[in-house]
Structure 1
Amino acid sequence: MWLHPTSALPSRSAQYLLQDKVMMGMLASLGIVHGQPFNPDDKTKKAMRQGALDAWYYMQYWYDNFPKEKLYWPDRHYASLLQADDNKKFTFIYEDRIDLINRAAEYFWCTYMPKELSATPATQYMMSLADKDGKPLEAGQRYKITVPAKMPVKQFWALTVYNRDTMSFIYSESNRTTLSSYDLDKMKKNQDGSVTLYVGPTAPEGLENNWIPTNGKRPLPAMRFYGPTDELNNKTFKLADFERA
Structure 2
Amino acid sequence: MLRHLPVLPLLMGLGLALAPISGIAAPGGAAPAPAGGTATTSVTTRLGALELQNGYPTNATAQKLYDELDLQRATQAYLWALPAVGFKALYDAQAKTMGVRNGDVLLYRTLKDKAGMLTPNITTLYAFSFWDLAAQGPLVVEVPAGLTAGGVLDIWQQPVTDLGQTGPDKGAGGKYLILPPGGPEVVAPGYRIFRSPSNQVWFGTRGLAPDKAVAEATVRQHRLYGWNQRANPPATGYSEVGGRPWQSAQPTDLNYWRLLSELYANEPVAPRDRMLFGMLSPLGLTPGQAFNPDARQARILGEGAQLGDLMARTIAYEKRTPGATVYPGKHWEYAVLFDLDQESPDKRRVQFEERSSWFYEAIAMSVGMQGRIVGFGQVYLEASKDARGEWLDGGRSYRMRVPAGAPVKQFWSITLYDNLSRGPLITGQGAADLSSRKPDLVTNADGSVDVIFGPVKPAGATNWIQTTPGKGWFAYFRFYGPTEAYFAKTWQLNDITLIQP
Q: TM-score range by the shorter chain?
A: 0.7 to 0.9
Unaligned runs of 5+ in 1: none
Q: Whose relative contact order is higher, 1 or 2, with alpha carbons under 8 Å and at least 6 apart?
A: 1
Q: 1:43 to 1:74 in 2, by over 3 A?
A: same
Deviation at 1:119, TM superposition (A): 4.9
Q: 1 or 2, which has the higher strand percentage? A: 2
Residues 393 and 472 in structure 2, CA contact (< 8 A), matched pair in contact too: yes
Deviation at 1:167, TM superposition (A): 2.3
Q: How does 1:92-103 map to 2 (within 5 A)?
A: 92=343, 95-103=347-355
Question: TM-score under structure 1 normalisation?
Answer: 0.82
Residues 454 and 468 in structure 2, CA contact (< 8 A), matched pair in contact too: yes
Would you say 1:55 and 2:308 are equivalent positions?
A: yes
Deviation at 1:188, TM superposition (A): 4.4
Q: Paired residue for 2:342, among 70, 91, 111? A: 91
The match for 1:79 is 333
Would you say 1:128 and 2:383 are equivalent positions?
A: yes
Deviation at 1:90, TM superposition (A): 4.4
Return the alpha-carbon distance in structure 1 between the equivalents of residues 473 and 484 of structure 2: 29
Return the alpha-carbon distance in structure 2 between the equivalents of residues 164 and 5 of structure 1: 27
Q: 1:4 to 1:182 in 2, by over 3 A?
A: closer
Return the alpha-carbon distance in structure 1 between the equivalents of residues 264 and 381 of structure 2: 41
Q: C-alpha offsets along residues 151-204 of structure 1, whole Å, 9 cap, x if unaligned?
A: 111111111111222322112233212111122x52444343422111222221
Q: Which moved more, 1:31-40 or 1:161-170?
A: 31-40
Return the alpha-carbon distance in structure 2 between the equivalents of residues 179 and 48 of structure 1: 40
The match for 2:479 is 225
* AA at the equivalent of 1:55: G
Q: Which moved more, 1:233-242 or 1:129-138?
A: 129-138
Q: Which moved more, 1:43-52 or 1:115-124?
A: 115-124
Q: 1:90 to 1:79 in 2, by over 3 A?
A: farther
Deviation at 1:105, TM superposition (A): 1.8
Q: Paired residue for 1:163, among 404, 410, 418? A: 418
The match for 2:29 is none
Residues 156 and 226 in structure 1, CA contact (< 8 A), matched pair in contact too: yes
Return the alpha-carbon distance in structure 2 between the equivalents of residues 55 and 215 of structure 1: 26
Return the alpha-carbon distance in structure 1 between the equivalents of residues 419 and 337 of structure 2: 17
Q: How does 1:1-245 map to 2 (within 5 A)?
A: 8-10=266-268, 17=271, 19-67=272-320, 69-85=323-339, 89-92=340-343, 95-115=347-367, 117=370, 118-120=372-374, 122-183=377-438, 185-207=439-461, 209-216=462-469, 217-245=471-499
Deviation at 1:34, TM superposition (A): 3.6
Return the alpha-carbon distance in structure 2 between the equivalents of residues 28 and 7 of structure 1: 14
Deviation at 1:235, TM superposition (A): 1.0
Q: 1:46 to 1:212 in 2, by over 3 A?
A: farther
Q: 1:115 to 1:159 in 2, by over 3 A?
A: closer
Return the alpha-carbon distance in structure 2 between the equivalents of residues 215 and 57 of structure 1: 22
Q: 1:90 to 1:143 in 2, by over 3 A?
A: farther
Return the alpha-carbon distance in structure 2 between the equivalents of residues 228 and 99 of structure 1: 25
CA-based RMSD of the aligned residues comes to 2.9
Q: 1:4 to 1:45 in 2, by over 3 A?
A: closer
Residues 411 and 435 in structure 2, CA contact (< 8 A), matched pair in contact too: yes
Q: 1:30 to 1:152 in 2, by over 3 A?
A: same
Q: 1:45 to 1:204 in 2, by over 3 A?
A: farther
Return the alpha-carbon distance in structure 1 between the equivalents of residues 367 and 487 of structure 2: 19
Q: Among the aligned pairs, what percent are the same residue?
A: 28
Secondary structure of 1:169 counterpart: coil
Return the alpha-carbon distance in structure 2 between the equivalents of residues 4 and 60 of structure 1: 25
